[in-house]
Amino acid sequence: MAHSKKVMGTAVSTDGVAAIRAWMRLSDALAAFDRHLRSEFGITGGQLAILRIIAEGEITLVELRNRLAMHPATLGQVVDRIVRLGLLVSSPLDSDRRVRVLTLTEDGLRLLRKAPLAGPVRLRSAADSESSRFLGAAFTEALSAFGLERWTDS
């Protein structure tokens, strides 16, 4: 049952306030995780997630783009940065030189062994698919509840 109280003449849902606090904890934890990755490994959470996906097996840039909800130019910039860091190699496919194949370097593999498995990419290996479905639906609902749908790419 939702509880509410009046603040400056407006009804404020205590359940809504609790949800906001939970969201802020998640947002703060993601920011702290990103700061940790930058200071310890020189990468961002998004870059680490891309490395973890590529570690699942050789992948082309197009296949990676299809797995992620990222604008092609943004993904290209992120991949280029990871390549410059020496963690990833982007090579042309033998059968079609226009296609770029992404593979981890030894430094990239070492980084993955040391970096914590945390953040959204952890859901890719979640054993509990029911929880993953629940979270996916909850995040979609959060976009609507926050009035943010028009600012999404997908």
Q: Is residue 71 part of a domain?
A: yes
- pLDDT digits (tens), the chain, 154 positions: 455 565 555 667 888 888 889 999 999 999 999 999 999 999 999 999 999 999 998 899 889 988 887 788 889 999 999 999 999 999 998 888 888 999 999 999 999 999 998 988 888 776 668 888 888 899 899 999 889 988 886 6
Q: Is residue 17 part of a domain?
A: yes
Q: Is residue 146 part of a domain?
A: no
For the record, the structure tokens of 105 come out as 């370097």
Query: Which ranges in the chain belong to alpha helices (H)?
Result: 14-41, 45-55, 61-67, 72-84, 106-114, 129-145
The domain that holds 114 is classified in CATH as 1.10.10.10
Q: Is residue 143 part of a domain?
A: no
Q: Is residue 121 part of a domain?
A: yes
Q: How many CB atoms lie within 10 A of CB 74?
A: 13
**Dist. CA 108–CA 80, nearest whole Å:** 14
Q: Is residue 147 part of a domain?
A: no
Give me the domain span that covers residue 118: 13-138
Count of domains forming the chain: 1
* Measured CA distances, 43 to 35, 37, 82, 120, 137 (Å): 9, 6, 8, 16, 29
Q: Is residue 29 part of a domain?
A: yes
- Torsion from C-alpha of 11, 14, 20, 23, nearest 10 degrees: -160
Place of tokens 């749908």: 149
Q: Is residue 149 part of a domain?
A: no
